[in-house]
Amino acid sequence: MKRRDIEALRERVSCAAVLEQAQFAVDIKESTRRAIKFRRGGEIIIVTHEGRGWFDPLSDAKGDVFGLVEHLDHVGFLESVDRVAGLVGFEITEPEWRPARHDGGFNRSLPERWRARRSPWPGSSTWHYLHSERWLPAPLLRATIKQELLREGPHGSMWAAHTDSAGVVTGWEARGSQYRGFASGGNKVLFRLGPDSALRLAVTEAAIDAMSLAAIEGLRDGTLYLSTGGGWSPATQAALWELTFRPGAQLVAATDANAQGDLFAERLRALAEDTGCDWTRLRPPEEDWNETLKIGEKEKRERKESGVPHSHRPRQGELRPAEPALDPAGRDAGGRQGVMKD
């Protein structure tokens, strides 16, 4: 590659694009327009010079976009040039800070940013991601869209709304094939799919899992499918407290089948004890509910292709009814007189 081509790549590809694809997230509280702080676990990279430069505050490493790829991927210069070339045309998601306007105000509010995005539709890139890659059935997607819970994000990603008790959008989970994060300047409260009056409260760690469990259960009557977005903010705790304090409420810890999921379940158990709410632990057969859904859908597709009839074939366009086995006998459970131990 000629020198002028390399210089053109340096101008066309931002360090922020490299970091976003590498699953770094912006630390909005410690960023400015001139110096954007990105984090990935314990790693920190500061992007400067309008995306053309960077440095690692935990070491002496710094440089341009090619040096960043070398630093992150431990490759040589020629390999870094190839990888940067692969990012030409990659547009970063909207900046994770809100630049000031000349009038001293700020850019659009969260609800305004939410309303400015279209809902997914059959054939859209976000619909393709949710339906074809995540295997969420079309009826479930239509029901979720009807509740104004989904928006088209950048590059075919999904925005799933978090709302407060008044239904005001406080932020959104952003998820795509190559991206995951949360709305810049937003607050994690709860993603809420289902009727507000529902007393069975199924809490997951991600909106994708909440929708997947809803699909598996066929949007079970009397159930509100919730996601904390992987966090546990004071606002999330307050929202769950308000929901579980209602007479007759049952809190279902439908978190992932791993160590983190068990920790979340214990937090939910403690909250249920505090509010006197019934409690149960609902573990997915696979690591999470989306993986469980995908395996089940693949098996149904294979049976259909092989000509084996389905034992409970739903009518066209409908979700299957809830499977009783999702609340199996011998589960972890609790009542208003206390929570049973495992």
Residue 10 or residue 270, greater confidence? 270
What pLDDT is stored for residue 319 in this prediction? 54
What's the rounded mean pLDDT across residues 275-289? 95
pLDDT band at 33; cut points 50, 70, 90 = confident
Please check whether residue 11 is in contact with residue 64, taking contact to mean a CB–CB distance below 8 angstroms: no
How many other CB atoms sit within 10 Å of the CB of residue 97?
Answer: 17
What pLDDT is stored for residue 180 in this prediction? 82
- Count of alpha carbons within 13 Å of 123, Cβ hemisphere only? 0
pTM greater than the 0.85 cutoff: no
Which range (70-84, 93-107, 160-174, 219-233) has the least confidence? Answer: 93-107
Which range (77-91, 93-107, 116-130, 170-184) has the least confidence? Answer: 93-107
Residue 143: C-alpha distances to residues 87, 213, 267 (Å): 36, 14, 30
Q: What are phi and psi of 182, to 5 degrees?
A: -140, 155
Residue 90 or residue 150, greater confidence? 150
Sort 3 into a burial class: Cβ within 10 Å, 0-12 / 13-18 / 19+: exposed
Alpha-carbon 107 to chain mean position:
24
Alpha helices (H) in 167-277, listed in sequence order: 207-217, 234-244, 259-275
Residue 16: C-alpha distances to residues 20, 50, 181, 193 (Å): 6, 9, 14, 33
pLDDT at 195 over 50: yes
Please check whether residue 188 is in contact with residue 229, taking contact to mean a CB–CB distance below 8 angstroms: yes
What's the rounded mean pLDDT across residues 31-57? 87
